[in-house]
Structure 1
């Protein structure tokens, strides 16, 4: 059996939540259910402002009975840790930056498994991502790299964009409500759990059919960057969307972009301006449910 290719994600870090109230505290702050989290699954979750805008996106799992780890892009870690800490108050939960203790790897060609299922390997965990064959592996920082060939950062970024998955980065903090990046479709929002910051806005977007923007996948010959604006030839005076994730492979750039749904109905889409590189729409690897 061929070993997966791997990449150490040096731009990711880890937050530790430890204490008797760790799960209940995170349950009260994040978009997913941590109260019922077991040891065989991870949670995709978001941390929102009171207006429902995503400050950070992350993957969390139980490391021990009273310990939960959250893996997330490092550029949002410090601000997330600081803001979460403001709400701990009397909860028996200590939050800390554990990034120095762990190495986060992306894997391509991993064994297929249900999305967000978790496999344990000694002190390491491997979380299956929604698209088959991709996984996150988090292991002690001093452990050997996973077996198999290495891949480039662009290989990983390209695969993520083609999978229709985007993480909140520094350039996109507070840019999206969860549904704008299809977060609820890929398992990042639980609509049955209790309140959390922004919950009312997120629920309203879901149930009142008011969502006018969604994440879509494109390819282009141009060079893209997270946070770069996208313009439509049908309405060139204002941005039609923003790049939420991108990567280049074999001369082609894959882009996961948050786009006005109306901009998909006519005209062409371009990077940076209407004279920029044209974008070719690609099929999402998952289905977007119709708005009620």
Structure 2
């Protein structure tokens, strides 16, 4: 099966690559060792997620971002505005094939020829594979690793995507775009939308918003089919989740019913 998710990658190279990434991204980049990756995000000033990615350190002065949705060239162009006087080069290689591989320790990354292998525990993701496939999608949906559809960036806060659980957000490393709002939600609470794994009654295009009684309560992210079962990650209003728990299944205005199989905190 040909993958629907070509690997969009962005390279940061130079003496200031780490400092630049530390100031722009939500994760603690300085703690990342060579040969390791972490989840990270780039937020707007309101704390909403513009891009989500695997951030790998290939060398002391080289970082590679594997985007989980979005366009690497557009991201690089936007980031370039903040690189003034920094010794960092941003480059965007051509999108490459993405496929699943054998089990590799989670957060490990290494090169195999011209390919990059990202360890994900019971499987791996190979950027630049000669055998592209989507076999990595189902286990990652079940693990709660979101992939952002094209119309979702700039709409959701990190806590809605469970990015704290994935250690993609740091609160003790100083300022970065959106940090104040994200920290306020972390310490004071108040967020009323969270991510869940759901089973759908039929296939729905990823990125679709489902409604109940005319309200925009269910934002679908990645949607995959396992045999005849349709499984998805969905950001759902907490009030609707309570309704689902009380009725087992929730019917939407679009005629799609869903059942929550797993939920994650911020």
The TM-score normalised by the length of structure 1 is 0.81
Q: CA contact under 8 A between 1:221 and 1:251: conserved in structure 2?
A: no
Query: Matched residues in 2 for 1:54 and 1:86: separation?
Result: 18
The DSSP-based 3-state class of the residue aligned with 2:30 is coil
Which residue number corresponds to residue 198 of structure 2? 218
Q: 1:110 aligns with which of 89, 94, 103?
A: 103
Query: Residue 28 of structure 1: CA displacement?
Result: 0.4
Query: Residue 34 of structure 1: CA displacement?
Result: 1.5
Q: CA contact under 8 A between 2:194 and 2:265: conserved in structure 1?
A: no
Which residue number corresponds to residue 122 of structure 2? 133
**1:276 paired to 2:252:** no
Which residue number corresponds to residue 207 of structure 1? 187
Which whole-Å deviations, capped at 9, do the CAs of 1:85-140 have from their partners, x for residues lacking one? 1111111101010235x554333x514x2x323345466443223xx4132233xx
Query: Matched residues in 2 for 1:182 and 1:134: separation?
Result: 21
Q: 1:175 aligns with which of 152, 155, 170?
A: 155
Mapping of residues 110-259 of structure 1, within 5 Å: 110-111=103-104, 113=105, 115-121=106-112, 124-129=115-120, 132-138=121-127, 141=128, 145=130, 152-153=133-134, 155-232=135-212, 236-259=213-236
Query: Matched residues in 2 for 1:151 and 1:88: separation?
Result: 34
Query: Residue 19 of structure 1: CA displacement?
Result: 0.9
Which residue number corresponds to residue 32 of structure 2? 37
Q: CA contact under 8 A between 1:11 and 1:73: conserved in structure 2?
A: no
Q: CA contact under 8 A between 2:52 and 2:69: conserved in structure 1?
A: no
Q: CA contact under 8 A between 2:45 and 2:177: conserved in structure 1?
A: yes
Q: CA contact under 8 A between 1:16 and 1:70: conserved in structure 2?
A: yes
Query: Residue 59 of structure 1: CA displacement?
Result: 0.9
The DSSP-based 3-state class of the residue aligned with 2:168 is coil
Shift in alpha-carbon separation, 1:74–1:228, aligned structure 2, 3 A: closer
The DSSP-based 3-state class of the residue aligned with 2:66 is strand
Query: Residue 185 of structure 1: CA displacement?
Result: 0.4
Q: CA contact under 8 A between 2:99 and 2:136: conserved in structure 1?
A: no
Q: CA contact under 8 A between 1:13 and 1:104: conserved in structure 2?
A: no
Q: CA contact under 8 A between 2:33 and 2:57: conserved in structure 1?
A: yes
Query: Residue 171 of structure 1: CA displacement?
Result: 1.6
Which residue number corresponds to residue 28 of structure 1? 23
**1:99 paired to 2:94:** yes
Q: 1:263 aligns with which of 210, 233, 240?
A: 240
Shift in alpha-carbon separation, 1:265–1:48, aligned structure 2, 3 A: same
Aligned residues: 262
Which whole-Å deviations, capped at 9, do the CAs of 1:16-39 have from their partners, x for residues lacking one? 111110110011000111123211
Query: Matched residues in 2 for 1:41 and 1:170: separation?
Result: 27
The TM-score normalised by the length of structure 2 is 0.88
Query: Matched residues in 1 for 2:166 and 2:10: separation?
Result: 22
The DSSP-based 3-state class of the residue aligned with 1:133 is coil
